[in-house]
Amino acid sequence: MNKIICFGEIMLRLTPFMTQRLEQAKSFAIEYGGSESNVAATLAQLGSKVHYVTRLPDQPFGHSALGCLAQHGVDISQSIFGGDRLGVYYVELGSGRRNSKVIYDRKNSGMHTLAPGMIPWEAIFQEVDWFHWSGITPSISSSAAAATKEAILAAKKAGVTVSCDLNYRSKLWDYGSPPSLVMPALIDLCEVVVGDEDVMGVYFGIKSSGREDAFEKLKNRFPNIKSIAFTEREGLSATHNTYQGFLFHDNIIVESKKYDMPDMIDRIGSGDAFMAGLIFKLKALYQGECDNQEVIEFATATSVHKHYIPGDINIITLDDVMLMMKGGSGAKVRR
């Protein structure tokens, strides 16, 4: 089995208990998370051979973060140590009509100060067939953006499929270069892209009249793309959403069933779960082992499951995904 490489920043996540506001918190739940590390953890639990590549400080929190991924079956042997600190982010979970909120504290972290030449990509891309990154990494700093480009170019040289979750974060991109000047050259090297109509406007200036138009315009702008996926969420409250996935592949659009999700526990990381499910099944699709509909149903079900798991990382098995796809309501005890 060829390896999947996920590249990005894993951070310390601090969450107040019982949906408290940050101003009320006297203690926090301590966890680890990050877009690409969440993808890696889910893929490993689904049975993929996954390596996670990052740069983080050689201190207890750095080792603990990697240990968290190792517990889920992710190979961490190709990550490197460096930087002054581990990035931190605070999550204030919403309730009812009060939105969730995230505050980042990642300046001078290992990935914030990452630069080209620090990671031995040529050696890493041995027996690898997939490389995943997200729009978060090039948003951290100009040097991290340059290091991301270095990684993608090395992946293309090695003949590796490249995927990106566009993942626009308005609180980042504060180093002087807007995403519209950075992201197009990186996406031009990708075969798989996940995003939405809003982020396409921010990154690429693409205005669309609807989902189908957005798919076609993105494909025309970046002809190397093979597969595009969107998700659509309607927020009825902080803990009650509807959710659906859409896939554009071979000029055909397919959509998943639409899920109603009351009593959600934690939606953070659900997009990463979708990305992991998508990668898992696209690898099968590209080998002729499944069809487009199965891909989008699997990815969406993987994401829906995450909404009912606290923390960043999806705790999941293949059986969990299959049960969700079959319409499991959670009403019965599995014995």
What is the mean pLDDT of the segment spanning 319-324? 97
The answer as to whether 68 is a domain residue is no
- On the question of pLDDT at 175 being above 70, the answer is yes
- On the question of pLDDT at 257 being above 80, the answer is yes
- On the question of pLDDT at 331 being above 80, the answer is no
Domain count, the chain: 1
Per DSSP, helices labelled H in 101-157 are 121-124, 137-140, 142-157
The answer as to whether 3 is a domain residue is no
Three-state DSSP class for residue 84: coil
The answer as to whether 105 is a domain residue is no
Dihedral sign for Cα atoms in the order 15, 18, 22, 23: negative
The answer as to whether 61 is a domain residue is no
Give the structural domain span for 283: 34-54+115-325
Average pLDDT, the chain: 95
Instruction: Give the residues across from 194 on adjacent strands.
Output: 165, 229
The answer as to whether 70 is a domain residue is no
What pLDDT score was predicted for residue 274? 99
What is the mean pLDDT of the segment spanning 216-236? 96
**Is the distance from CB of 28 to CB of 13 less than 8 angstroms?**
no
Which residue has better confidence, 327 or 296? Answer: 296
For the chain, give the percent of residues with pLDDT over 70. 97
What pLDDT score was predicted for residue 333? 45
Residue 154: count other Cβ atoms within 10 Å of its Cβ: 18
| 127-173 pLDDT per residue, tens | 999 999 999 999 999 999 999 999 999 999 999 999 999 999 988 99
What is the mean pLDDT of the segment spanning 282-291? 97
CATH code, domain with 293: 3.40.1190.20
| 12-56 pLDDT per residue, tens | 999 998 888 888 989 999 999 999 999 999 999 999 999 999 999
Copy the structure tokens of residue 119: 């990671």
What is the mean pLDDT of the segment spanning 5-13? 98
What pLDDT score was predicted for residue 98? 85
What residues contact residue 233 under an 8 Å CB cut-off, 6+ apart? 241, 242, 243
The answer as to whether 302 is a domain residue is yes
What is the mean pLDDT of the segment spanning 217-238? 96
The answer as to whether 242 is a domain residue is yes
- On the question of pLDDT at 243 being above 80, the answer is yes
Reported confidence tier of residue 263, pLDDT bands at 50, 70, 90: very high
What is the mean pLDDT of the segment spanning 224-244? 96
Torsion region of 116: left, alpha or beta (phi above 0 gives left; psi -120 to 50 gives alpha): beta
Ranges 14-23, 165-174, 210-219, 292-301: which has the least confidence: 14-23
The answer as to whether 79 is a domain residue is no
**Could you tell me the pTM of the whole model?**
0.95
